[in-house]
Homo-oligomer: A and B are copies of this chain.
Amino acid sequence: MKVVIAGMDGYIGWPLSHYLRWRGHEVEGFDCFLRRQMVRWAGGESVTPLRDWQEVPFCDLRLRRSGSPVQRFLEGADVVIHLAEQPSAPFSMKDMDSAATTANNNVVGTLNLLWAMQEVCPEAHLVKLGSMGEYGTPNVDILEGEAEMVFRGRHDRMIFPRRPGSFYHASKVADTYNVELACRAWGLRATDIMQGVVYGLGYEHQPEGKLGLTRFDVDPIFGTAINRFCAQAVAEVPITPYGKGGQTRGFLPLRDSLQCLGIAIENPPASGEYRTLNQFEQTYSIGELAQQVQVAAWYWGVASEVRHVENPRAEAEAHYYEPDHQRLFDLGYVPTRDMQLELRELIGVLREYRDRIDVEALLPDVHWSGERRRVEYLEA
């Protein structure tokens, strides 16, 4: 199949291009390099060195009008994988301009991609990255896809209710409704992937055969909790869960994310179908992650301390969390990586790049309240 990856320069996009070529697909892609730019705005830098950006063709989904380059990339596509979104919740909560950049890049960019597909490849399968964070942490099981809902004795199948935790997550919710509408109005086929938090940086299937290393951000704007915890362990500063640490999320290693995306592509929905997949392997609380990182660091002889810091986010620190995630398993997903082994590899690599970790910049200063100040350690 001919697969076009929007956002091919990114954390997942670049490893995915290798994985899908290895699976026998013809892969093309593009990027507008906004991620590189934003990480620099945030004062960060990928811990792993980045390859030359010119290896990926330039195309910006925000440049709308018909006849823009995106239409040319989509010609003949069987699958379009849309990874070209701003992925950071704290970035979107930083200030007016960052929130607007998020909505403009994610919501408007997705709309433009939908229209371009409708013009150029209306039969192609859109695989779009949403986020498990669209759902928030409701006090009910999170169903996968449209759910049977009953009100006053009548029922209908409806998109499962969302409660996004940031303007970034809200931009993903907006995408969900736009993509679902495109399926309903135009007969587009789409898989909307509610992905958990992806961790790890290693991937196979590079032309040279050696271990690939994707970009790896540890700054508090673009680094996820696991990334920053590993960087803290390697830098021998305390590992810092936010608040009580009972916040629970779904996680999966990078290689499993690639596997799942491959499965989604090779099992397309019918024309007009809007399909949701909740994509993660297992749930962990932030406190459990900190322990996992401690244990993996100990494998490398590093003793690390866990110190809780105040929570800059507006989120529940202890809550119910039972999201369904059966569909990918039904389609053949087999988890291949144990979290401990993955964290060992991750920490092993980071140790090689220890001098690229900016220890001063590991604690967040963007508060959901709008405040801007470095978080404080909580009393033990």
Contacts and interface: CB of A to CB of B under 8 A. Distances in A.
Contacts of A112: 96, 99-100
Name the residue in A118, A152, A161 with the highest tally of chain B Cβ atoms < 10 Å from its Cβ: A161
Interface stretch (A47-55, A137-145, A198-206, A247-255): A137-145
Given A161-B149, A186-B370, A370-B118, A111 B140 contact: no
A79 to B, nearest CB: 21
Interface string A177-220: 11001001110000000000000000000000000000000000
Contacts of A111: 96, 99-100, 103, 167
**How big is chain A's contact interface, by range?**
35 or more
Contacts of A116: 96
B174 A181 contact: no
Given A111-B100, A150-B150, A139 B156 contact: yes
A23 interface: no
Name the residue in A140, A152, A159, A165 with the highest tally of chain B Cβ atoms < 10 Å from its Cβ: A140
A96 B64 contact: yes
A174 B163 contact: no
Contact of A320 (B107, B154, B181, B185): B154
Contact of A65 (B64, B96, B159, B164): B96
Contacts of A139: 154-156
Copies, count: 2
A156 B178 contact: no
Contacts of A185: 93, 166, 314, 368-369
Contacts of A143: 151
B181 A167 contact: yes
Contact of A99 (B115, B141, B149): B115
A96 B156 contact: no
A170 interface: yes
Nearest to A165: B181
A178 B150 CA distance: 26
Contacts of A141: 151-152, 154
B173 A96 contact: no
Interface string A78-101: 000000000000000101110110
A66 interface: yes
Contacts of A140: 149-152, 154-156
Given A162-B177, A174-B170, A65 B152 contact: no
A38 interface: no
28 contacts: A64-B96, A64-B97, A64-B100, A65-B96, A65-B97, A66-B95, A93-B185, A96-B116, A103-B103, A103-B111, A104-B108, A140-B154, A140-B155, A141-B154, A143-B151, A149-B161, A150-B150, A159-B163, A160-B161, A162-B177, A164-B177, A166-B181, A170-B174, A171-B174, A173-B177, A186-B368, A186-B369, A186-B370
Given A64-B96, A141-B152, A161-B161, 17 more contacts: A64-B100, A65-B96, A66-B95, A96-B112, A103-B108, A107-B108, A138-B156, A140-B155, A141-B151, A158-B163, A160-B161, A164-B181, A166-B181, A167-B178, A167-B181, A174-B174, A174-B177
Q: Lowest 10 CB-CB distances: which A-B pairs, in order?
A: A174-B174, A96-B115, A158-B161, A139-B156, A140-B151, A185-B314, A140-B154, A170-B177, A64-B100, A185-B368
